[in-house]
Structure 1
C-alpha cells in the first residue's frame, strides 16, 4: 500500500464490510414498508435494529452475497500461484456456492473451502429472484461468464448486482482502477445483464477504491464518474449520481428528497440513494444519521442501507461504526474473519501459499477455484 498506511487500509476493509452489514440489517425489516408507516413508528428514522420477519440485527441476502464476493476474490488470488492468473471468473463459482445456501438446508459436504460450511448462512432472506434464476440457469449450462458488452444473461438492472460488489473496491492499488471498475461490472453481469445493472456496480467499486486510497467522498465520486462515462450505456447511472450530488448540496436530508432519486429497486437508484445519504452526513460521527437516512424510505431499504454502509465504512474505517450496532449485528465474527483474511491474502499471500507450498491450511481454507 502506498497512498495510505496498510493499517489504515485494513481498518477500511473491515469498516466497509461491517458497515455494509449494519446498513443491511437496519433496512431489512422495513424493506417493504412505505415511508409514512416507517416514520409513524420511528419518527427519527430507523436508528436501531428492529425485528421484522427475523430477529433484530439479522442480515439479508445483500450481505450474504457480499461475503461470497470476498471469498471469491481471495480464491482468485490463491490461483495465481498455480500459474492460472487472477481470474475473476472464480466469482461465478462463489455465487454458485451462495446459491447452495438458498436451496439446501445446510452444508452438503460436497463443496470445499470454509465459508459454505457456515450453517448460519443457510437462511433465505428474501433473495432476489433475478439472482436465483440467473445462477440456476447457469448451472444448467446457460450464459455463465459474460464480458462487458457480450451477450447478456438477461436485461435486468435490478440492484442485486450493485449491492454485492463493494469488495472489488477493497483490492490494493496494484490492481488498476479501470480493471477494478470493469471486473466489478462483469461480476454483476453474471446475474444482471442490463448495462446500467453492470455499470452502476463498476461505479460503486470505483468509489470504494478511491475512498480506501484516501480520497474524499467528492473526489471519489468524480473519479468514478470519469471512469463510468467511458462506457457505452452509462447515461442512467451518470444522471442518477449527478442528481444525488445536486440534491445533497441543495435539498433537505429526508425521505421526500430520497424518493426523488427513486426506490432503490434498480441499480442506479440504489447507488444514488446511498451516495446522497453519505453526502448528506459525511462526518464520522454522523455515520448513524447517514444510515438512518439511507433506509428510511419506501423503497429497497436493505440494499440502499448496505451500499451506504459500504461507502462510509470505506471512508472512515471501522472505528466510526456505531458500537451498539457492531455489537449485535448477525455474523460479525464471520464478517471480520473474512475481512482480515482478505487483508492477509492481498498483503502476505506468498507467506500463506506459493513458496510455502500449495497444500497448506490456507489453501484448504481458500482453494483456488
Structure 2
C-alpha cells in the first residue's frame, strides 16, 4: 500500500485532535472519573457535535512540543545540526504555555538547555524524570524515519530528543515507543506485533546509550522498570510473542478502564509516565479497530493523563485509517492547523522523496 501525504496530514491532525479532546482546556485532563467524562461528552452531543477550535478546545503543551520536534526535523539537517535546532525550539515552545499546563520536568529540562553552546542539548541525569513529556512529542520521529532500514536513526533521535528534558530511561524510552509505534503504523505492521517489536528494540536502544557514553551507569541502573512493566502488560494481553488476538478483560467499560489503567501506572495517575502513555495508546488502538469514536473513548476519555495518551493514539490512528469516519469538526479548525499541515507535508517529502515502500 502506498503511503500518501494525506496519511501524514491525518496523523499530525488527529494527534493534535486527540490532545485537544483529551485536554478539554484542562477540564478533562484533570478529571478523576472516566464515566464523568463520558457523561459530559454525552451532554455536549457527542463527538459529532464538537468543533475542536479556540477558545474552548486549545491544544495543550503536548502538541506545542510535538510541533517543535516536527519542525526541527522538517529542516532536514544532519544530526549535529539537528540537536541545537531542536533544543532551541523546545526552549522557544515554552514561551507558548499559557493555559497549556506543561509538566514540571519539561519546564525544568528546557530551563537547563543551552542551544548555542557545544553539547548544549544535554542536561544532567534526573532520577525523577519518569514522566510522559518525551513520549508525547515523539510520534513525528516515526513519520520522519518510518523505514525499517532507518531504525538506528529513529532510536538516536528518540533518545536524544527525549533526554533534552527527560533524562531517565522511563521517560525517554517512552519517546522510543511513540516513535516506533508510529513507524510501525506507516509500515502496516500488524498491531498485535507492535509490543513485541518494542521489546526486541529495547536492547538496541541500550546499546546506543552505552555507545554514546553519557551517564551510562545512571541510565542502566534505572533501566529495568520500563522493560519489566511492558513485559507484564504484554503478558496480560497475551501478546508477548506478538501473536493475537489480544486478551482484554471481560468487562472493559470506562469505569473498569479507569481501574485497570491505574495498574499500568507508576504512581496511580494513568498515562502520566513514559512507559504507560504509549501503553494506554496501544491498548486503545488494539481495541478500537477503525472506530475513531472507540479510540477516543479508550485513549482520550479516562481518568488519567488523557491528552498525552490521546496525542499518541491519534497519531497512529491517522496513519492507519486517515480521516475516514472522523467528524470534520474534530480537526477542521484546530489551533495551529496551518503549521500542522506544513510540518506533515515536509516530513512526508523527507521520508518518501527518494524511497518507496
- Give the TM interval when normalised to the shorter protein: 0.7 to 0.9
1:101 Cα offset (Å): 2.7
For 1:281 and 1:214, the matched residues in 2 are separated by 16
Look up the match of 1:107. Answer: none
Look up the match of 2:110. Answer: 135
Could you give the per-residue CA deviations for residues 145-185 of structure 1, whole angstroms, max 9, x where no partner exists? 34xxx952553111111000001101242762133033212
Match of 2:230 among 220, 238, 248: 238
In structure 2, the residue corresponding to 1:178 is in which secondary structure? helix
Look up the match of 2:274. Answer: 267
Q: Structure 1 residues 336 and 44, CA, compared in 2 at 3 Å: closer, same or farther?
A: same
C-alpha contact 2:195 2:234 (8 A) present in aligned 1: no
In structure 2, the residue corresponding to 1:34 is in which secondary structure? coil
C-alpha contact 1:203 1:228 (8 A) present in aligned 2: no
Q: Structure 1 residues 249 and 128, CA, compared in 2 at 3 Å: closer, same or farther?
A: same
Look up the match of 1:363. Answer: none
C-alpha contact 1:162 1:198 (8 A) present in aligned 2: yes
Match of 2:6 among 8, 11, 27: 11
1:142 Cα offset (Å): 12
C-alpha contact 1:196 1:267 (8 A) present in aligned 2: yes
For 1:227 and 1:90, the matched residues in 2 are separated by 27
For 2:232 and 2:14, the matched residues in 1 are separated by 23
For 2:96 and 2:41, the matched residues in 1 are separated by 33
For 2:59 and 2:102, the matched residues in 1 are separated by 11
Could you give the per-residue CA deviations for residues 257-280 of structure 1, whole angstroms, max 9, x where no partner exists? 354232111121211111111111
Structure 2 length normalisation: TM-score? 0.77
Match of 1:221 among 195, 200, 225: 195
Q: Structure 1 residues 85 and 133, CA, compared in 2 at 3 Å: closer, same or farther?
A: closer
1:338 Cα offset (Å): 1.7
Look up the match of 1:145. Answer: 121
Equivalent positions of 1:165-176 (< 5 A) are 165-172=138-145, 173=147, 176=150
C-alpha contact 1:21 1:63 (8 A) present in aligned 2: yes
Unaligned runs of 5+ in 1: 103-122, 350-369
C-alpha contact 2:238 2:247 (8 A) present in aligned 1: yes
C-alpha contact 1:70 1:342 (8 A) present in aligned 2: yes
1:243 Cα offset (Å): 5.8
RMSD (Å), alpha carbons: 3.1
For 2:236 and 2:174, the matched residues in 1 are separated by 14
For 2:21 and 2:235, the matched residues in 1 are separated by 25
Q: Structure 1 residues 13 and 134, CA, compared in 2 at 3 Å: closer, same or farther?
A: same
For 2:49 and 2:64, the matched residues in 1 are separated by 18
C-alpha contact 1:197 1:267 (8 A) present in aligned 2: yes
In structure 1, the residue corresponding to 2:164 is in which secondary structure? coil
1:189 Cα offset (Å): 1.2
For 2:301 and 2:310, the matched residues in 1 are separated by 9
For 2:93 and 2:236, the matched residues in 1 are separated by 32
Between 188-197 and 247-256, the greater mean CA deviation after superposition: 247-256
Equivalent positions of 1:23-34 (< 5 A) are 23-29=18-24, 30-34=28-32
Q: How many residues align?
A: 313
For 1:48 and 1:55, the matched residues in 2 are separated by 18
C-alpha contact 1:14 1:336 (8 A) present in aligned 2: yes
Match of 1:201 among 175, 178, 182: 175
Could you give the per-residue CA deviations for residues 288-340 of structure 1, whole angstroms, max 9, x where no partner exists? 21112212221111111111101211222344543231223322232112211
Look up the match of 1:277. Answer: 284
Q: Structure 1 residues 48 and 246, CA, compared in 2 at 3 Å: closer, same or farther?
A: farther
